[in-house]
Amino acid sequence: MAAPDTREHRSPPEARGERIDQFLATVFTDLTRSRIRGLIDDGHVLVDGRPVKAAMRLRGGELLSLHVPAPVAASPQAEELPLTVLHEDKDLVVVDKAAGMVVHPGAGHASGTLVNALLHRVKDLAGVGGELRPGIVHRLDKDTTGCLVVAKNEQALVALQKSFKGREVTKTYLALVHGVPPAEGRIETLYGRHPVNRQRFTGKVREGKPAITVYRVLEVFDGAALVEVDLLTGRTHQIRVHLTEAGHPLLGDTLYGAGRKPKGEAGTAQERMGRQALHAWKLAFAHPRTGKALSLEAALPEDFTAALTLLRGPQAPEPEPASKAKAKAKKAPARKKAAAPKKAPARKKAAPKKRAAATTSRKR
């Protein structure tokens, strides 16, 4: 547990006119601006010995005192739940999230979440936001499996958030989709909530945040394909939305692909999954304290592997190069089968002269 901490700083003349919460966020970079606002609201920030409001404007020359209390116990309860840890050190932990596990407690999910499991598993939390809880840097949907990094302290949380925001983190997913997309593609759109169904998101908006998804087809089956996806941005449901709007929703996605009922082995594989076929396969980033490169990989879960086995069939010849996938997309796709890899499917390196590609870009 982190000890209480009191810090002082004298504002320079050039800070005149700045809001105190904005100025303190530039001075104490290990604290988020929202955390600093909370400390101000709780009376833990003094200006020349007096409490102030977050909107107060500095004159320059004031003595600023900021007190960070010791973190209190988190409101979520620690629970002993199954949890696979891929990496852990004093600043962070990377887990392989299981299907069906919600990341954070919320409406309808007061317990059984990843946060509850981490509170039991991690014994050296230093506190985030004034509570002894793990710092959630990014999220995975309830039914998405794979790599997820969590901060143990405020400094690591701030640094990791900056890395994610600055697109300095490599996030690679594996997905099973309906149909056969072009061999590779880049989908770049504005992104926001669906105007009618507020539970959904869409890349067909006139105003929104930029969203970029890059994919490569790894294997082609009868009515389905295995794709490797890189997220260059991290919008909610981004892979599910972009691939759906490109005509290839994920197998088992009941929100975005509910109307698609594949036949044959693809249909059997979808029933075997029982959830959206999306796995956060690899995660690579610089360590927030040391700067050392970290690269983690989560093995495919049993249900995803079983679905692949069904799609590949009992006798699997060498996999087809992804570069031929577009030719397959022009006619009814024939099943291509491949022997299962030791860990997870690897992208074929074959690169013929004529390479099929697809690029989608919508800016309105």
* DSSP notation for 15-37: GTT-BHHHHHHHH-TTS-HHHHH
| pTM (whole model) above 0.75 | no
pLDDT at 170 over 70: yes
Could you give phi then psi for residue 18, rounded to 5 degrees? -80, 145
Q: Which candidate, 55, 58, 28, 53, places its Cα nearest to that of 43? A: 53
- Catalytic residue from among 21, 91, 96, 141: 141
Please, which residues bridge with residue 127 across strands?
153
Comparing 245-254, 300-309, 331-340, which segment has the lowest mean pLDDT? Answer: 331-340
Please, which residues bridge with residue 211 across strands?
189
d(CA 298, CA 222): 27
d(CA 304, CA 176): 9
Joined together, the tokens standing for residue 139 give 């999220």
| Helix (H/G/I), strand (E/B), else coil: 181 | coil
Active-site residue, 141 included: yes
Instruction: Return the pLDDT at 202.
Output: 96
pLDDT at 331 over 50: no
Joined together, the tokens standing for residue 307 give 């679905």
Q: What is the pLDDT of residues 39-59, one digit of tens each?
A: 898 889 999 999 999 889 999
| Pairing state between β 209-220 and 131-132 | unpaired
Domains of the chain: 5-70 (3.10.290.10), 73-165 (3.30.2350.10), 170-341+352-362 (3.30.2350.10)
| Helix (H/G/I), strand (E/B), else coil: 60 | coil
d(CA 319, CA 337): 6
Which band of pLDDT confidence, cut at 50, 70 and 90, is reported for residue 334? very low
Q: How far is CA 173 from the centre of its chain?
A: 10
Instruction: Return the pLDDT at 111.
Output: 84
Mean pLDDT of 195-222: 94
Q: What is the DSSP letter of 58?
A: P
178 to each of 227, 248, 262, 329, 339, how far by Cα in Å? Answer: 11, 5, 7, 12, 21
Instruction: Return the pLDDT at 2.
Output: 62
pLDDT at 73 over 70: no
Which band of pLDDT confidence, cut at 50, 70 and 90, is reported for residue 316? low
314 vs 145, residue with greater confidence: 145
pLDDT at 218 over 50: yes
